[in-house]
Amino acid sequence: MTTENKTSASALARAVGVTRQTIYDWRKREGFPQNGSADDVKAWADANGLQRVYITQDTGNLAELKAQSLQRDIALKDVKLAAMRGDVVDRAVVKAMLRLLGSKLDLLLRLKLEVELGPRVAGKSAAEANVEGSLILDEIREVVNANLARFETDAVKSSKSGAGSEEE
């Protein structure tokens, strides 16, 4: 690498607010604006979802950057430990169970409103129909709450078994 390229990478890194190594890494990626301005590079990085670690006078010292990196590593390890203990439910498990719960709720509402409501309020006054409506809502709440409790238990079991845990 020539001194000119090194200097321009350093200058561009300072202008963009990243390390020189970041500029070298980015230059290898497709679409990097080789002769672009700092604004072009920032826009390219943002458009490609690349995180930029800004080095400013406040956070520019190496010890502080290392401490921030260590804090991120510790937070990540805490998340991994929580998942291993079963304190965290896998996103895929939650999505699958929510889809199932949504289907069950849809079926329950159809049953209560399309099938049961008419016969339950037929020939009743408005006040009596309101009472029947309240009873139907209570029945729906009971079923939903029971399903949510089952969902929580099943989700924890699924996450534990998915994480390779032998506990149940």
> Model confidence over 68-115: pLDDT tens digits?
888 888 988 888 888 777 777 778 888 888 888 888 888 888 888 888
Q: Which residues of the chain have pLDDT under 50?
A: 2, 55-59, 163-168
Number of folded domains that form the chain: 3
Residue 7 to residue 10: CA distance in whole angstroms:
5
Are 105 and 155 members of one domain?
A: yes
Are 39 and 67 members of one domain?
A: no
Q: Final residue of a domain: which of 55, 77, 98?
A: 55
| pTM, full prediction | 0.41
Are 113 and 65 members of one domain?
A: no
Question: Which domain covers residue 69, as residue numbers?
Answer: 61-85
Indicate whether 25 belongs to any domain.
Answer: yes
Are 113 and 137 members of one domain?
A: yes
The pLDDT mean for the chain works out to 79
The pLDDT score that the predictor gives to residue 15 is 84
Indicate whether 167 belongs to any domain.
Answer: no
Residue 106 to residue 137: CA distance in whole angstroms:
14
Are 23 and 77 members of one domain?
A: no
N residues, the chain? 168
Are 70 and 93 members of one domain?
A: no
Residue with tokens 């129909």: 129
The pLDDT score that the predictor gives to residue 159 is 64
Are 110 and 138 members of one domain?
A: yes
Q: Which two tokens stand for residue 97?
A: 């169970």
